[in-house]
Amino acid sequence: MTSAEASVVSAGMHLGTYELLRSLAQGGMADVFLAKATDGRHVAVKVLAAHRSSDVESCALFLDEARLAGHLHHEHIAGVLGADVAGGRHFIAMEYVHGADLREILLAASHAQTSIPYEVSLAIVAQAAAGLDHAHRRCDEHGVPLRLVHRDVSLSNIMVGHDGVVKIVDFGIARSTMSTVHTSPGIVRGKASYMSPEQCMGDRVDHLTDVFALGIVLYELTTGARCFHGKTDFERMLAVVRGDYILPSDLVADSPPELEAIVKRALASDRSQRFPSCAAMIEALERVMAGRGWNGGAQAIQLVMHSLFGDVREPWRAADVLGDDVPSTEVHITIIPAEPTETLRRPRRLAAGTLGDVYDPKNWRGDDVDEAVTRGHRRLRARVVAPRLAA
């Protein structure tokens, strides 16, 4: 690759031993491609954005991610296969997850006018928590705790495979004892709507920040609404610090009280009141599932994925990737486009603190309508004019 070509990376090109097949996702920090290795394996290749390639800190963060993720080996964490530099471009080869992230899943459910069953939502969060718990407990080769904090747990960084297996992805801003780039006091990294109070304040964070973020994910999966919202990042972070979110029972009529108790504990502003670990949160989730007779598990998740996306083949088996004449009866099409779109890039955002702040606003017709339907079969509380805010 020449220096001129290095500024543009696209499908059909080669990076090291990988042939890039198609774009999977695009972001400000990096782009992700489906790629094929020389041994025939299909992987995801994350390429540092061209405008970041000359930035020393961005390159260091990128390499930190590769080193750190290389120490993590768990079924609920997308594995890293290696990192390299080719043609002046930094890239990381990772396990490819054939599925969708939670943001896409919520939008697909919204478009289908259905909802994700509670048992499946809890099963997804429990698997994600298992991956995070492994990361939090991981030590280096000398037995020294890595003290890893993901710092970016969110809907878009939790992938659900069509096989029902959940994977945590993107340790791009994770903090650990291996980090070579350290966030200066007062500097904030992460997504405003998924930060913990201490993260918003620029204070030191630990694994309890990830517990808090996972509580937000649980809230949004089970209510279909944004947890912390605002028109700007400042407003969203202020809502987090103040603990300003509408209780699930004030949004969804059939919200299980024991599930709300888990959400409230995970989202406690006082760190000492949160679950002490992701493992403890898993135990609480499993108690709710057992008490309700919910099976959860990969099979239940797989059934929901099939109901939302159909029988989706691996992208490299589709005719447009292989270039072969595959009979139309053998090609399955998902309702989520292969190429990212602005609609799928982020959920709809409505006014903060309103019952309209849901992923499918078309079913909300105002607070004068009794039991307006949201997320399919779940019903909103009628006429909640001044909803209680969580304590």
CB 313 within 8 A of CB 331: yes
Helices (H), the chain: 56-69, 102-111, 118-137, 197-200, 207-223, 233-242, 248-251, 257-266, 278-292, 297-309, 319-322, 342-345
Q: How far apart are CA 364 and CA 70, in angstroms?
A: 46
Q: Please report where in the chains the tokens 């291996």 appear, as a residue.
A: 178
The CB density around residue 340, as the number of other CB atoms within 10 Å, is: 17
Spatial neighbors of 365 by CB under 8 A, at least 6 apart, are 372
- Strands 30-37 and 18-26 come out as antiparallel
Q: Is 92 helix (H, G, I), strand (E, B) or coil?
A: strand
Q: Which of 84, 62, 81 is nearest to 1 (CA)?
A: 84
Closest CA to 338 of 8, 3, 11, 28: 11
Please give the backbone phi and psi of residue 369, each rounded to the nearest 5 degrees, phi first: -105, 125
Active-site residue 152, yes or no?
Answer: yes
Distance CA 120, CA 296 (A): 5
Going by the DSSP 8-state scheme, the letter that residue 312 receives in this structure is P
> Catalytic pick from 31, 133, 152, 250?
152
Return the axis-axis angle of helices 278-292 and 257-266, rounded to nearest 10°: 170
Which residues participate in catalysis according to the annotation?
152
